[in-house]
Amino acid sequence: MTDSAYAWFEREQRERGIDMTQVKARLNALKIETPSWGYADQGTRFQTFKKAGAARTVQEKLEDAAMVHRLTGACPNVAIHIPWDHTEDYGKLAADAKSLGIGIGAVNPNLFQEHDYMLGSVTHHEPEVRRRAVEHLLDCVDIARATGSDALSLWFADGTNYPGQGDIRQRKAWMEESLREMYRALDPGMRMLIEYKFFEPAFYHTDLADWGMAYNLALKLGPQAEVLVDTGHHPQGTNIEHIVAYLLDEGRLGGFHFNARKYADDDLIVGSANPYELFLIFSQIVLAENDSANPLVQRTAGRIAYMIDQSHNIEAKVPAMIRSVMNVQTQYAKALLINWNALAEAQQAGDVLEAEAAVRDAFEQNVTPLLHAVREEAGLPADPMRAFKTSGYAERIVSARSSAVNAR
């Protein structure tokens, strides 16, 4: 992209009434956490296609995450999953990450892979199983402390497959009791991000099925508990940006698990099947960020944990992550181009078509020259995908990781 392409873009935006200095500063500030599990061989319930060069160890996952950060400048942290990323020395894990130029992000406990948890973990009917699950949650708080992480992302597969299988209200009480014990163990600077999902793997009822249940639990637990919105976790047609606006307004939007879906929890590249949805989510965030006089909104608006939660089964993993980060940047950039004064005027005048146009017009802008300029000004490759292709990294990991080591 030439300088003149950006100069033209900037002139256009000035005419649209957009303050480009602010747009650039906000784009620069956008940080997105990538998931360690997105670099390893992960599949669907049907097949896991082994990829040459996929990370086999925690160290290799860190290396891939660091590569994504080097090329995008936007991914300083990597989320870890316990026990997939288990290690004897978490202080060393953090130091290894640091030496690669990244840090450890959210710690994700895993309470869904063991036989004991078939009928539930923190909501299991046997106290011994619940105890074990809570102990794992407490271990994860220790791991967060040891790695310098300030966030715990909680997702539970807990639920039932058939009516009558479990006592829904009793399980609700156990969920609260278990999470309260974990909450008490948090350090003051730590946040507990509570993720909800309406189905899968449980197909009749899920103990934390929607944002309302997660929000209610967060309210009961205290100010360090917030809601995590995974974009793939809603019934078809759900207005996710409305949920986002609501949680922002209540000061309880903790963060996101970004991914794209068309049918269920597809965990595909964010912004691929549903770019307009992602744009509308960001438009609510930008609007909340602008609402600087509202302390409740500001409580979370400035520190939303943007995390990617994807599983790449047929696509090359490192470039898929780079693509994902770029897609997020693209939709955030577009949301920053909404002329809020024009929108407010149209709303005030009751002009439905003008109001809708003010939003859509931003979505229809081509932000490529802007993103190239922002990256170049930060000393980054203008096109991280192309930079990856020519970097030789893909070839290097294929040859370096050809011996048989199990990632987990």
Q: How many whole angstroms separate alpha carbon 306 and alpha carbon 229?
A: 10
Rank residues 147 and 283 by Cβ distance to ligand AOS and give the closer one.
147
Coil/strand/helix, residue 306:
strand
DSSP secondary-structure letter at 116? G
Scan residues 228-247 and list those touching Zn ion (CB under 5 A): 230, 232
User: Applying CB under 6 A, does 61 fall inside the site for ligand AOS?
Assistant: no
Q: Is residue 41 a contact residue for Zn ion (CB under 5 A)? A: no
For ligand AOS, give the closer residue by CB, 24 or 257.
Answer: 257
Sequence-ordered list of residues with C-beta below 8 angstroms from that of 361, at least 6 positions apart, any chain: 16, 338, 339
Helices (runs of H) and strands (runs of E) counted in the chain: 16, 10
Q: What is the rounded distance in angstroms from the CA atom of residue 263 to the CA atom of residue 130?
A: 32
Instruction: To the nearest 10°, report the CA torsion of 262, 263, 267, 269.
Output: -10
Q: How far is the CB of 207 from Zn ion (least distance, A)?
A: 15
| Nearest residue to ligand AOS, by Cβ distance, number only | 155
Q: Is 195 in the site for ligand AOS (CB under 6 A)?
A: yes
Single residue of 257, 323, 334, 375 touching Zn ion by CB under 5 A: 257
Of these partners, ligand AOS, Zn ion, none, which one is at the site of residue 37 (CB under 5 to 8 Å by kind)?
A: ligand AOS
Instruction: Please choose which of Zn ion, ligand AOS, none residue 81 contacts, taking the beta carbon within 5 to 8 angstroms, the exact cut-off set by kind.
Output: ligand AOS
Among 230, 268, 306, 372, binds ligand AOS (CB under 6 A): 230
The count of residues in the chain is: 408
Kindly state whether residue 6 participates in binding ligand AOS, applying the rule CB under 6 A: no
User: Binding Zn ion by CB under 5 A: which of 150, 265, 277, 289?
Assistant: 265
For Zn ion, give the closer residue by CB, 42 or 259.
259
- Residue 313, classed as helix, strand or coil, is coil
Stretch of residues binding Zn ion (CB under 5 A), selected from 202-210, 307-315, 320-328, 342-350: 307-315
- Would you put residue 267 in left (φ > 0), alpha (ψ -120 to 50) or beta? left
Cβ proximity to Zn ion, 81 vs 257, nearer residue: 257
Cβ proximity of 362 and 334 under 8 Å:
yes
Q: Does 198 participate in binding ligand AOS (rule CB under 6 A)? A: no
Query: 206 to each of 46, 120, 144, how far by Cα in Å?
Result: 23, 10, 27
The beta strands (E) that lie in 231-271 are given as 253-258
**Out of Zn ion, ligand AOS, none, which partner does residue 271 contact, by CB within 5 to 8 A per kind?**
none
Query: Interface residues with ligand AOS (CB under 6 A)?
Result: 37, 81, 108, 155, 195, 197, 230, 257, 265, 309
